[in-house]
Structure 1
Amino acid sequence: MQIEQLSAWTDGSDQPFIIAGPCSAETEEQLFKTAKELKENGINVIRAGVWKPRTRPGTFEGIGEDALKWIQKIKKELDVKFAIEVANAQHVELALKYGIDILWIGARSTVNPFTVQEIADALKGHDVPVLVKNPLNPDLALWIGAMERLNQAGITKLGAIHRGFSTSKKTKFRNLPQWQMALELKRKYPEMPMICDPSHIAGKRDMIQELSQKAMDLVFDGLIIESHIDPENAWSDAAQQVTPTHLKEILEALVLRHTKSDNPEFQTHLAELREKIDELDREIFETLADRMKIVDEIGEYKKDNKVTVFQINRYKEMMKARGEWAEELHLNDEFMENVFSLIHDAAIRRQTLIMNETEEKA
């Protein structure tokens, strides 16, 4: 993909790129007051929900075009930029008509290639930045595919918004961060601006500081945070919005780290530690290779004795034991489960190949 650097379509600052504003544009007064306070606190790009994709009908779904008229007036009066979500071609046309500066595609839209293509077609010939939120579920190919469709339509001012992933599990997050998904996208496309949405990951305002700092530590390029003049009485997402004053406190408390240090002592010590990591990684790979030899041997034995590859009771025993080992070694339970599940899945694939008399190795 051909992607412009973030500095090419922002103010060029080396500080994190910040977008903030209410979940929804509710009234002209609410939007103006929020934008004014944000501007006074150093925020120059305001977000506002004009159309709100809601899970169920009968809830507040946005003001629509009238909100765009408010935005047009506020932009001139306060000298700020605005970012809004678009979900179809009509939204795009109206957003461009009213001079919206940045568009974003929401998680519900990203999951549908037809919707993304419709938006991409409507954007052809226009030079406007577009940010793409991750899809509802952790599907990296779907996320990348949405950006590729926009890029093929001529959009080069592209960026990604990491807002976390839906889950049926009860966790402290509204949406699971699964940071590795955003980092994998960044590894594939280092030039891709990566914006974190701590508001939607958290679902509650008291976690926004922690998540914003985590994003900065992972070298995200910026943040998009919901801010409302009166969060408690917001018409949508009240629990996760912060006042402009609170937002300023959050941003001022961020510790911005460097990607490298010129300190010779640091460089030397870091090189030594990395060498130890490399040695341990080599040992891990050698151990895994030995394990797979035994897996193959077991596969042959199962085949000769007409025994199924997957043994549910054995799997449960293994998971229980490995969980206990992880606890003894002070390893995170989720980390252990993810790692061992990958190893076990690889073992199942190898034994399945053996059952089918395939010599190919996984």
Structure 2
Amino acid sequence: MKTLKMKDWGLGLGKHVVIAGPCSVETEKQLDDLCNSFEREPQIGMFRGGVWKPRTRPGNFEGLGDTALPWLQEVRNRLKIPVCIEVANAAHVEAALKHQIDVLWIGARTTVNPFSVQEIADSLRGVDIPVMVKNPINPDLALWVGALERMHDAGLNKLAAIHRGFADPYDKIYRNKPNWNLAMQLKLELPDIEIINDPSHIGGKWEMIKDISQRALNFGMDGLMIETHPNPKEAWSDARQQVTPEQLLTILKEISFKEKIDLEAEIPSNLKEMRNAIDHIDQKLIDLLSDRFHVIDQVGAYKKAHQLAVYQGDRWKNVLQNRIDLGKQKDMSEKFMKSFLVAIHDESIKRQEKQMALEKEVAKTI
């Protein structure tokens, strides 16, 4: 994967930008009511509103389209902040530019399709407008990075990512599982990219927004996009995950917008000591894992010599339960212990399979 030079990337909206507005633009009165609330709140840095709504199934409200765009122009004039909308094709882009929309975002259903992303990128060539790219529905980092690359290759430098979570039919907590590690991997791939968290779509319930927002900020994300409606119970789409302006302001007061420490010189001495201790422990962990895998290699050699199957179900079941119990005794969660042990087991299986494959290759050459 190519490395992008991103020093000039970013929306330039300052630290911890808060983007708020309804899931869908419904009526002029709806926007007027929100403006009345937001005019008294300087913390709102951008206004969002869904104009074209890509719905999973037909028959649901799919947005007012072009009708809503002049209303958003009036919102910008009143609040003196940028307005942003989602676009899914070149026609949407053309209409948005015609009505001088300030910022565009590409939705999760669009990010998953490189053809659609490329169509949008081509329609924006030569246009100086900020674009935010939501993660794809499925947990595929390459698709997310690829969409940003396509925008960059079209000459767009004012880019940001939106972390809105990933579909997981087995997760019963979130509407879209956050998979925080994937957002952090994006930051490793593109170190200077700004990441805006969308707690509304991750939680799917307004009661979860505060905790998800705080966790996003704890992970160092650069802002929040929170769906806000004057009367969520009467919202035409995603009613359950929207908050009132009053609830939004309460959330913003209760979460902590901690500043990130960017320079090593600014790190307090006691924090440096704790980090040094962590580095030392990590080195010991890696040494122990290396020792464990050397023993695994010996186990693999034994299985190969005695024609035993790589996977031994009863043994793995016993090891998993025993180690989970040991971890819980040391104040480690069952969820963490299981994922940690499964990762080790997967690597152990791969190493043993590699030995079996080498045996077959040697047999072919004899």
How high is the TM-score relative to the length of structure 2? Answer: 0.91
What SS does structure 2 have at the residue aligned with 1:211?
Answer: helix
SS at match of 2:268: helix
TM superposition shift of 1:171: 2.6
Whether 1:280 aligns to 2:281 is: yes
Task: Show structure 2 runs of 5+ residues with no match.
Answer: 361-366
1:71 matched residue in structure 2: 72
Alpha-carbon separation, structure 1, partners of 2:232 and 2:305: 67
Q: Deviation of residue 72 (structure 1)? A: 2.4
1:246 aligns with 2:247: yes
CA contact (8 A) 2:125 2:155 kept: yes
Contact map agreement 1:173 1:203 (CA 8 A) in 2:
yes
Q: CA separation in 2, counterparts of 1:66 and 1:285?
A: 59
Q: Distance in 1 between matches of 2:7 and 2:35?
A: 28
Matched residue type, 1:28: E
Letter in 1 for 2:283: R
Task: Report which stretch shifted further, 55-64 or 333-342.
Answer: 333-342
Aligned residue number for residue 99 of structure 2: 98
- Aligned residue number for residue 335 of structure 1: 336
In structure 2, C-alpha distance between the alignment counterparts of 1:142 and 1:270, rounded to whole Å: 37
After TM superposition, the structure 1 = structure 2 runs for residues 32-71 of structure 1, keeping only pairs within 5 Å, are: 32-42=32-42, 43-71=44-72
Q: Which moved more, 1:248-257 or 1:150-159?
A: 248-257
Moved over 4 A (4+): 261-266
Letter in 2 for 1:334: K
What residue in structure 2 maps to residue 203 of structure 1?
A: 204
- Rate the CA distance shift 1:97–1:358 in 2: closer, same or farther, 3 A: farther
Residues 172-202 of structure 1: per-residue CA shift (max 9 Å, x gap): 2211111111112112222101101111111
Aligned equivalents of 2:78, 2:131: Cα separation in 1: 24
- Percent of pairs identical after alignment? 46
Q: Is the 8 A contact 1:261 1:267 kept in 2?
A: no
Label 1:213 to 1:320 Cα distance change in 2 as closer, same or farther (>3 A). same
Counterpart residue number, 2:158:
157
Cα distance in structure 2, aligned partners of 1:267 and 1:144: 34
Q: Which amino acid aligns with 1:348?
A: I
The answer (yes or no) to whether the contact 1:25–1:50 under 8 Å persists in 2 is yes
Three-state SS of the structure 1 residue aligned to 2:358 is: coil
Give 1:139 deviation, angstroms.
1.3
Q: What SS does structure 2 have at the residue aligned with 1:40?
A: coil
- Code of the aligned partner of 2:94: E
Flag the 1:212–1:287 CA change in 2: closer, same or farther, 3 A: same
Distance 1:207 1:27 in 2: 27
1:266-291 per-residue CA deviation (whole Å, 9 max, x = no partner) reads 72222222222122111111111111
Report how far residue 78 of structure 1 moved. Answer: 4.1
Cα shift at 1:31: 2.0
Per-residue deviation, 1:61 = 0.9
The range that moved more, 272-281 or 252-261, is: 252-261
- The two structures have a TM-score, normalised by structure 1, of 0.92
| Equivalent pair of 2:171/2:177 in contact (CA under 8 Å) | no
Question: Which one-letter code corresponds to 1:26 in the other structure?
Answer: E
Q: Any idea what SS the aligned residue of 2:338 has?
A: helix
> Residue deviations 1:31-54, cap 9 Å, x none?
222233223222241100001111
The aligned residue for residue 122 of structure 2 is 121
The answer for the alignment partner of 1:131 in structure 2 is: 132
Paired with 2:285 and 2:80, the residues of 1 have a C-alpha distance of 56
Q: What is the alpha-carbon distance in structure 1 between the residues aligned to residue 256 and residue 290 of structure 2? A: 42
- Alignment length, in residue pairs? 357
Q: Which moved more, 1:262-271 or 1:139-148?
A: 262-271
Is the 2:103–2:129 Cα contact (8 Å) retained in structure 1? yes
CA distance in structure 2 between the aligned counterparts of 1:212 and 1:67, rounded to whole angstroms? 29
Change (3 A) 1:132 1:265: closer
SS of match in other structure, 1:155: coil
Pair 1:85 & 2:102 matched: no
User: Which residue in the other structure is 1:16 paired with?
Assistant: 16
Tell which deviates more after alignment, 263-272 or 279-288: 263-272
The answer on 1:220 being equivalent to 2:227 is no
Q: Please tell me the root mean square deviation across aligned C-alpha atoms, in Å.
A: 2.3
Moved more, 44-53 or 181-190: 181-190
Cα displacement (A) at 1:129: 0.5
Letter in 2 for 1:53: P
Distance in 2 separating the partners of 1:44 and 1:159: 15
Change (3 A) 1:230 1:349: same
**Residue correspondence of structure 1 range 20-31 to structure 2 within 5 A:** 20-31=20-31
